[in-house]
Structure 1
């Protein structure tokens, strides 16, 4: 595989130290774009060395997964901060602060110890993965982008290449403009178009 390839993969993932499974595609495959920042570094490196229908079990160290644990992300927060949100903190609950999500570890003496590290930080991960398909056509790649961003009715999406620099995409009405902006950015970055035009299509309701 190569950078910016669109593929479908199936996998299961577990923590090496405990054997706990934390992610799985079940019987389905999921779309992936092989590009920096989209995947864990270790997963990206492994996929670049694989081919369609190839299976591989890989081990990803913390520095190529979610990083090492950072002691600076262990914080003591006054219990009053929780009370402001009408919340009584308990060990195990999650708390949002400064755009970070943390887990309450303990409550003592009016202070709450919260761990803002990613739960998988410091862990070695084991992935059992298989590349099911390489997505080739522009239409299918565009649909994959909508699928990644959770947009329904992706089968109604049609792409028309206007020129080497421009593409027009027919989409169902009322798709959030934020999604359209993100998808357009991805098309420009990964498919190398310079201009993306969206055309909303309104259809006559089917008669009974």
Structure 2
């Protein structure tokens, strides 16, 4: 049965460049490790996709809406549906002096900031620096291998996976309660994350998303940081 906008889906995916096979993104930890792209700060495993929120490439999301629970699919995304075609006008040449005056010791592959934005140094020769302001994936066909693991129906489960997505904390470390009478959601997280600089913004993002998504069911979002006493066994170990 096709899905609809607003559906909560848990999705596994791996994205590669068709031409080279280079990995772009994946929800699979083993694949990330094998390709030397593993990020210790990321939560791997099936990720939450709420259809219509624009969290995935629009072309891919439209294809997912035609799928069913448990189904796997390979989706090719052309450049015009991904990061666009390469624009030769976005490749600019600068004098090496412009960078040395600003204290830059530029090398090929460096990302630099100019009045045109952020670009990648492609070549340095004869006192000139070639900078490419195209997106690194511009002009590339992307291949998505997607699996719809399952559709979420339970409100508490939806809230939990929203928390995982926004906070970047594994679900087993979070506790999310919904008091239907008071229309209050309480999100409890371990105290070890308190010092994370991005946490205040992540909490605001989560609360905003919950209040917008559950307009009729939630009026208030409360966060609790839990600092627990270590057990004697864990202290000995």
Shorter-chain TM-score tier: 0.7 to 0.9
Query: Could you tell me the TM-score, scaled by structure 1's length?
Result: 0.81
Correspondences of 1:34-73 after superposition (within 5 Å): 34-73=51-90
CA contact (8 A) 2:167 2:202 kept: no
Aligned length: 207
How far apart in 1 are the matches of 2:116 and 2:180?
41
1:92: which partner in 2?
109
- Equivalent of 2:214 in 191, 195, 199: 191
Of 125, 131, 135, which residue of structure 2 is paired with 1:114? 131
In the alignment, which of 143, 155, 164 is matched to residue 138 of structure 1?
155
CA RMSD of aligned residues (A): 2.9
Distance 1:64 1:191 in 2: 31
Once the two structures are TM-superposed, the CA of residue 168 in structure 1 deviates from its matched residue by 2.1
| Cα distance between partner residues in 2 of 1:4 and 1:90 | 46
**Are the equivalent residues in 2 in contact too, given 1:36–1:44 (CA < 8 A)?**
no
Give unpaired runs (5+ residues) of structure 2. 31-44, 233-237
Say which SS state the counterpart of residue 170 (structure 1) adopts: strand
More helix, by proportion: 2
Q: Which runs of structure 1 show a deviation greater than 6 angstroms over 4 or more consecutive aligned residues?
A: none
* Separation in 1, partners of 2:116, 2:154: 38
Q: Which runs of 5+ in 1 are unaligned?
A: none
